[in-house]
Amino acid sequence: MSAGSYAYSAVLMGSPILLKLFEHDEALAGRVFRLIKHQENLFTVNRAPSEVMAINHAAGLHPVVVSAPVYQLIKRASEVSTRAGSCFNFAIGPLVKRWKIGFHGNTVPPESELQALLALTDPHQVILDDAAQSVFLQQAGMEIDLGAIAKGYIADVVRDYLHQQQVTNALINLGGNVQTLGHPAQQAWGIGLKKPFAGPDALIGVIHVTHQSVVTSGVYERYFELAGRCYHHILDPRTGYPLDNELLSVTIISDDSIDGDIWTTLLYGLGVEKSLVCLQEMPHIEAIFVTRDGQVICSSQHKYRFTLLDDSYRVTG
């Protein structure tokens, strides 16, 4: 850790959370962790009390009025999910629940069951009413899941809160979602790029940024193995199975962590070639792809610098 920095940790949202400050301020760290807890309680689909769970419980029955932040996040998730060809689908809840990837009792569901559940994941059947600020799932059994976007949103909420508290240099790591303010003295932040399926501390390299979010989504984060196959937690909304392509991880460097969280999933679904074309249209988003054949493919490096540590990988792009 850099000189003069203070690290505070907690376990929230099922992940180890790390806050780094440059002044010793236990009280501030406590307020940040309470803020995260409060946000988690709005969005979780695993425990009451949560506004998202209230929506899911009313599926096929009636619309549920939610608070402004929950409505806004759902609206954003809906927009991303209903784009043509999008692999991001916030209505994927029934499949996520059935697969239980990363939780106890993993099995591969029978094909017929997956097909039946796919029929309950149409994002167009999530009806939003801006005037009433309500959300209605048209069919019984539908469930929204904000797992691919909520952490990014919350990381930005924490950044904005720290900014409001006059903190200029800090880092928050919500377990795969890192958001930074400023930078350590005379340096950039160094964010490790994890080596897939190696130990928790094994790194391919380091991503250097100042005042940026770095979000990584990887097949090695939550998965189980069965009969020589690896089943991970990012599902393909077209097939009902885990997304299967040349990628092991996608990292997004962006101002806002919500964009990073959304685009890791979207680019995962597109694969490297189409992603690189797509990224040319989006100067505010940069990406690093790790492929199964040991390549690290970096998009334009305006917002970050990448240093390779493990020379069994080749850097291209």
Which positions lie near ligand ADP, rule CB under 6 A? 87-90, 92, 96, 145, 147-148, 151, 176, 217, 221, 233-235, 237, 261, 264-265
- Pull the structure tokens for residue 114: 């997956």
Residue 65 has φ and ψ, to the nearest 5°, of: -80, 130
Give whole-number Cα distances, 5 to 24, 59, 171, 196, in Å. 8, 47, 10, 29
Give the whole-angstrom CA distance, residue 54 versus residue 71: 13
DSSP-derived pairing of the beta strands 305-308 and 314-316 = unpaired
Handedness of CA 35, 36, 39, 45 (dihedral sign): negative
> 169 or 257: whose CB is closer to ligand ADP?
257
Q: How far is the CB of 33 from ligand ADP (least distance, A)?
A: 19
> 183 or 232: whose CB is closer to Mg ion?
232
> 90 or 304: whose CB is closer to ligand ADP?
90
> 29 or 262: whose CB is closer to ligand ADP?
262
Q: Which does 235 bind (CB under 5 to 8 A by kind): ligand ADP, Mg ion, none?
A: ligand ADP
Q: 295 CB contacts (<8 Å, ≥6 apart)?
A: 289, 313, 314, 315, 316
Give the whole-angstrom CA distance, residue 283 versus residue 190: 22
Q: How far is the CB of 90 from ligand ADP (least distance, A)?
A: 6
The residue number with the shortest CB distance to ligand ADP is 147
CA angle 102, 107, 113 (to 5 degrees): 115
Give the whole-angstrom CA distance, residue 130 versus residue 80: 17
Handedness of CA 196, 202, 204, 206 (dihedral sign): positive
Q: Which does 237 bind (CB under 5 to 8 A by kind): ligand ADP, Mg ion, none?
A: ligand ADP
Residue carrying the six token digits 């939550």: 222
> 147 or 184: whose CB is closer to ligand ADP?
147
Q: How far is the CB of 198 from ligand ADP (least distance, A)?
A: 17
Residue carrying the six token digits 């909520």: 150
Q: Which residue type sits at 242?
A: P
Q: How far is the CB of 85 from ligand ADP (least distance, A)?
A: 12
Q: How far is the CB of 165 from ligand ADP (least distance, A)?
A: 26
Q: Which does 174 bind (CB under 5 to 8 A by kind): Mg ion, ligand ADP, none?
A: none
Which spans of this chain sit near Mg ion (rule: CB under 5 A)?
148, 151, 261, 264-265
Give the whole-angstrom CA distance, residue 278 versus residue 272: 10
Q: How far is the CB of 311 from ligand ADP (least distance, A)?
A: 27
Closest-CA residue to 34 (of 67, 6, 5, 12): 12
- Pull the structure tokens for residue 239: 């097939």
Q: How far is the CB of 175 from Mg ion (least distance, A)?
A: 8
Q: Which does 224 bind (CB under 5 to 8 A by kind): Mg ion, ligand ADP, none?
A: none
Q: 47 CB contacts (<8 Å, ≥6 apart)?
A: 53
> 25 or 236: whose CB is closer to ligand ADP?
236
> 189 or 263: whose CB is closer to Mg ion?
263
Q: Which does 145 bind (CB under 5 to 8 A by kind): ligand ADP, Mg ion, none?
A: ligand ADP
Q: Which does 89 bind (CB under 5 to 8 A by kind): Mg ion, ligand ADP, none?
A: ligand ADP
